[in-house]
């Protein structure tokens, strides 16, 4: 016997019994996002490596540690670790800047990161997300946050917390970075290896560290004083106040988290996360923010933008397992040819119908029908002669003879 080839670590098969739950996530996304005017976009799952190095940031863990990169025809290509950079590339390349603002896009699909597999997170994982281009004011930030909340509510998820922060603009953020470095300098040797690397390259990312020893350092009063300070400039502060006023008016509850910086370099001003208390320590189900410089950094015109992404595996882990969807009818017959013909006729009328391709005994077929269908369509010799079908309601046991041309009407 040939050796079995197993699935790659960090990936999972989505089996038939699980796919229905994925369909719920996807259909709800289409339903809710369409109400807000978002159009679906589908970008390639691999792009030029430079897109992510320039877009996501060469100081991030994603670019430094987690990307799946390969060479082909002397060109470096990377499986997408996130989709904002790819959507921005498409926005630029396809001239969407010429469209009337705002340009609203949404996507779903697989992403790839080489990291330790854990609850709700795999090396191939799936995200659903939205991006809005062309609107600078805080109404855009408020809409995408509200959109995320309403999407999650449509899935039945209500035990959620919205956390907000403002990272300011590049100008006011520089002074803050200097203060962070200054107050943490005496603790440098006690920081984890990643934080020591971030200290010079991207000191704001220090605040995003999940290592307990680093969290204890950041909790010290003298360091908290700097972290909690209002460092953002007057214009950025006005933008943040405007966002909060929109959310208050829309009854979106939120808390301010000064440690929230997100893991990607392109964010400015608004950043946010939506968390669930049912996921343990890794409890974020949605993350996003504003990235006003990304379109320009990737070669496009200066275009404000804001968006978010959700991990679909994590969403699935929070949803109740749906009841299996039953067939409309299962044909029970000892005449496969007649069963095949009847099944195909009913399928053309929009019904979900199966019959026994293995030609098992009548009792076995009836047993199968009781597990997978609402009705058993019994097609024996007597029924074939009379041009009828015995339709049995498998929940009540009621059985009636129905003419073939009336079966669809009876089942519907």
Q: 353-361 long-range contacts, Cβ below 8 Å, gap at least 24?
A: 353/327, 353/328, 353/329, 353/377, 354/327, 354/330, 355/330, 355/331, 356/331, 356/332, 359/334
Chain segment 46-61, per-residue pLDDT in tens: 999 999 888 776 656 6
DSSP secondary structure code for residue 118 in this structure: B
Q: What is the dihedral of CA 342, 344, 347, 351, to 10 degrees?
A: 30
CA atoms within 13 A on the CB side of 49: 16
Q: What is the pLDDT of residue 58?
A: 60
Query: Across-strand partners of 287?
Result: 273, 309
- DSSP for 264-313, written as a single string: -TT-EEEEEEEEETTSTTS-EEEEEEE-TTHHHHTTS----EEEEEEEHH
What is the enclosing helix (H) or strand (E) of 78? strand 75-79
Output the pLDDT for position 282. 63
Q: What is the pTM of this model?
A: 0.87
Where residue 292 falls (left for φ over 0; alpha for ψ -120 to 50; beta otherwise) is alpha
Residue 305, φ and ψ in degrees, nearest 5: -155, 155
With a cut of 50, which residues of the chain have pLDDT below it? none
What pLDDT was estimated at residue 213? 86
Question: Which residues does 407 contact at the CB level (< 8 Å), separation at least 6?
Answer: 329, 342, 346, 377, 389, 391
Structural domains in the chain? 16-169+232-318 (3.30.930.10), 327-411 (3.40.50.800)
Q: Is 47 helix (H, G, I), strand (E, B) or coil?
A: strand
Which pLDDT score, from 0 to 100, does residue 224 have?
82
**Cis geometry, peptide bond prior to residue 102 (ω within 30 degrees of 0):** yes
Residue 306 is predicted with a pLDDT of 98
* Model confidence pLDDT, tens digit, residues 79-88: 999 999 999 9
């Amino acid at each position: 016997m040939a050796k079995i080839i197993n699935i790659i670590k960090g990936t999972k098969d989505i089996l038939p019994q699980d796919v229905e739950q994925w369909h719920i996530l996807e259909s709800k996304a289409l339903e809710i996002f369409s109400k807000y005017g978002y159009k679906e976009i589908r970008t390639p799952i691999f792009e030029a490596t430079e897109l992510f190095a320039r877009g996501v940031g060469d100081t991030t863990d994603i670019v430094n540690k987690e990307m799946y990169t390969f060479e082909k025809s002397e060109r470096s290509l990377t499986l997408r670790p996130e989709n904002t950079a790819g959507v921005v590339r498409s926005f630029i390349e396809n001239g969407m800047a010429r469209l009337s603002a705002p340009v609203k896009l949404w996507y779903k699909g697989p992403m790839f990161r080489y990291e330790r597999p854990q609850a709700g997170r795999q090396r191939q994982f799936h995200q659903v997300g939205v991006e809005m281009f062309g609107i600078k004011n805080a109404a855009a930030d408020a809409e995408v946050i509200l959109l995320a909340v309403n999407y999650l509510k449509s899935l039945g998820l209500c035990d959620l917390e919205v956390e907000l922060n403002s990272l300011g603009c590049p100008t006011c953020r520089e002074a803050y970075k200097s203060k962070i470095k200054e107050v943490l300098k005496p603790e440098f040797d006690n920081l984890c290896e990643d934080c020591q690397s971030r200290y010079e390259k991207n000191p704001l990312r220090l605040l995003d560290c999940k290592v307990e020893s680093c969290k204890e350092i950041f909790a010290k009063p003298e360091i908290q004083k700097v972290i909690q300070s209002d460092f953002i400039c007057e214009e950025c502060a006005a933008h943040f106040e405007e966002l909060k006023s929109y959310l208050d008016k829309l009854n979106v509850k939120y808390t301010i988290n000064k440690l929230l910086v997100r893991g990607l370099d392109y964010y400015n001003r608004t950043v946010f996360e939506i968390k669930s208390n049912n996921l343990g320590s890794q409890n974020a189900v949605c993350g996003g923010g504003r990235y006003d410089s990304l379109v320009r950094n990737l070669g496009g015109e200066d275009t404000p933008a804001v968006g978010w992404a959700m991990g679909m595996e994590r969403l699935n882990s929070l949803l109740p397992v749906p009841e299996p969807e039953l067939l409309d009818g299962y044909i029970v017959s000892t005449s496969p040819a007649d069963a095949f013909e009847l099944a195909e006729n009913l399928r053309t009328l929009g019904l979900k119908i199966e019959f026994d391709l293995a030609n098992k005994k009548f009792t076995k077929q009836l047993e199968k029908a009781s597990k997978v269908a609402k009705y058993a369509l019994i097609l024996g010799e007597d029924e074939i002669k009379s041009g009828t079908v015995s339709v049995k309601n498998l929940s009540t046991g009621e059985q009636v003879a129905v003419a073939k041309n009336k079966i669809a009407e009876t089942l519907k």
